[in-house]
Amino acid sequence: MKIHGSHFLITGANRGIGLAVAQMAAKEGAHLYLVMRQNDQSLLDNLKKMGAPNVTIFVSDFSKRSSIDDLIKKLTSVPVDMVFNNAGQLTGGLLEDQSLDDIYNMFQVNTLSLVHLTKGLLPGMIQRGRGKIINNSSVSAFMHFPCATTYASSKASVVAFTQSLGAELEGTGVTTLCLITPGIKTRMFDEISIKYAKNLRMPLDSISPEHYASLIKEAIIRDKKVLFPRGQTAAGLFLARHFPLLFHKMIKGYFKR
Ligand SMILES: NC(=O)c1ccc[n+]([C@@H]2O[C@H](COP(=O)([O-])OP(=O)(O)OC[C@H]3O[C@@H](n4cnc5c(N)ncnc54)[C@H](OP(=O)(O)O)[C@@H]3O)[C@@H](O)[C@H]2O)c1
Tens digits of residue pLDDT in 133-176: 999 999 999 999 999 999 999 999 999 999 999 999 999 999 99
Kindly state whether residue 257 falls inside one of the protein's structural domains. no
Give the tens place of pLDDT for each residue, 48-57.
Answer: 999 999 999 9
55 Cα distance to chain centroid: 20
Kindly state whether residue 1 falls inside one of the protein's structural domains. no
What pLDDT score was predicted for residue 216?
A: 99
- When pLDDT is cut at 50, 70 and 90, the band that residue 62 belongs to is very high
Q: What are phi and psi of 35, to 5 degrees?
A: -110, 130
**Nearest Cα to 23, choosing from 10, 35, 36?**
10
User: What CA–CA distance (Å, rounded) separates 92 from 90?
Assistant: 7
Give the tens place of pLDDT for each residue, 219-236.
Answer: 999 999 999 999 999 999
Kindly state whether residue 24 falls inside one of the protein's structural domains. yes
User: 4-28 burial, b for 16+ CB within 10 Å, e for fewer?
Assistant: eebbbbbbbbbebbbbbbbbbbbbb
Kindly state whether residue 2 falls inside one of the protein's structural domains. no
Active site residue 104: no
- When pLDDT is cut at 50, 70 and 90, the band that residue 203 belongs to is confident
Kindly state whether residue 195 falls inside one of the protein's structural domains. yes
Q: If you average pLDDT over residues 63-73, what whole number do you get?
A: 98
Specify the number of domains making up the chain: 1
Query: How many angstroms separate the alpha carbon of residue 245 from the centre of ligand 1?
Result: 30
Kindly state whether residue 29 falls inside one of the protein's structural domains. yes
Active site residue 48: no
Closest ligand 1 atom, residue 139 Cα: 6
Query: How many angstroms separate the alpha carbon of residue 62 from the centre of ligand 1?
Result: 11
User: What CA–CA distance (Å, rounded) separates 58 from 86?
Assistant: 15
Query: How many angstroms separate the alpha carbon of residue 186 from the centre of ligand 1?
Result: 9
CATH code of the domain covering residue 32: 3.40.50.720
Q: What are phi and psi of 90, to 5 degrees?
A: -115, 130
Active-site choice (60, 113, 155, 196): 155
Q: For the chain, give the mean pLDDT.
A: 97
| Inter-residue contact 121 to 75 (CB < 8 Å) | yes
The range of the structural domain enclosing residue 11 comes to 7-252
| Lowest mean pLDDT segment, chosen from 89-98, 104-113, 127-136, 199-208 | 199-208
User: What CA–CA distance (Å, rounded) separates 200 from 74?
Assistant: 43
Active site residue 164: no
Active-site choice (151, 157, 195, 196): 151
What are the pocket residues of ligand 1 if the criterion is a CB atom closer than 6 Å to any ligand atom? 12, 14-18, 37, 61-63, 86-89, 109, 136, 138, 181, 183-184, 186-189
Kindly state whether residue 26 falls inside one of the protein's structural domains. yes
Helix (H) or strand (E) holding 233: helix 231-242
